[in-house]
Amino acid sequence: MGKTAFIFAGQGAQQIGMGRDLAEQFPSAMQVFEEAGDALGMDMKKLVWESDEATLKITENTQPAILTMSIAALRVLEEAGVQADLCAGLSLGEYSAHVCAGSVSFADAVRLVRRRGRYMEEACPAPRGAMAAIIGLTNEQVEEVCQKASEFGVCEAANYNCPGQVSISGEHDAVVKACELAKQAGAKRAVELVVSGPFHCSLLRGAGEKLAADLETVAFSEMKIPVVTNVTADFVPSAAEIRPLLARQVSSSVRWEDGVRRMIAAGADTFVEVGPGTALSGFMKRIDKEKVSCHVSDVESLKQTLEKLGV
| d(C-alpha 18, C-alpha 73), whole Å | 10
- Which is it for strands 189-192 and 227-229: parallel, antiparallel or unpaired? unpaired
> Is residue 79 within a helix (H) or strand (E), and if so which, with residue range?
helix 59-79
Active site residue 91: yes
In eight-state DSSP terms, residue 254 is: B
From 98, 172, 200, 295, the catalytic residue: 200
| d(C-alpha 144, C-alpha 178), whole Å | 9
Q: What is the DSSP string of 18-66?
A: TTHHHHHH-HHHHHHHHHHHHHHTS-HHHHHHHS-HHHHTSHHHHHHHH
From 70, 91, 293, 297, the catalytic residue: 91
| d(C-alpha 289, C-alpha 209), whole Å | 38
Contact 7, 89 (CB under 8 A): yes
Active site residue 167: no
Contact 201, 154 (CB under 8 A): yes
- Supply the residues annotated as catalytic: 91, 200
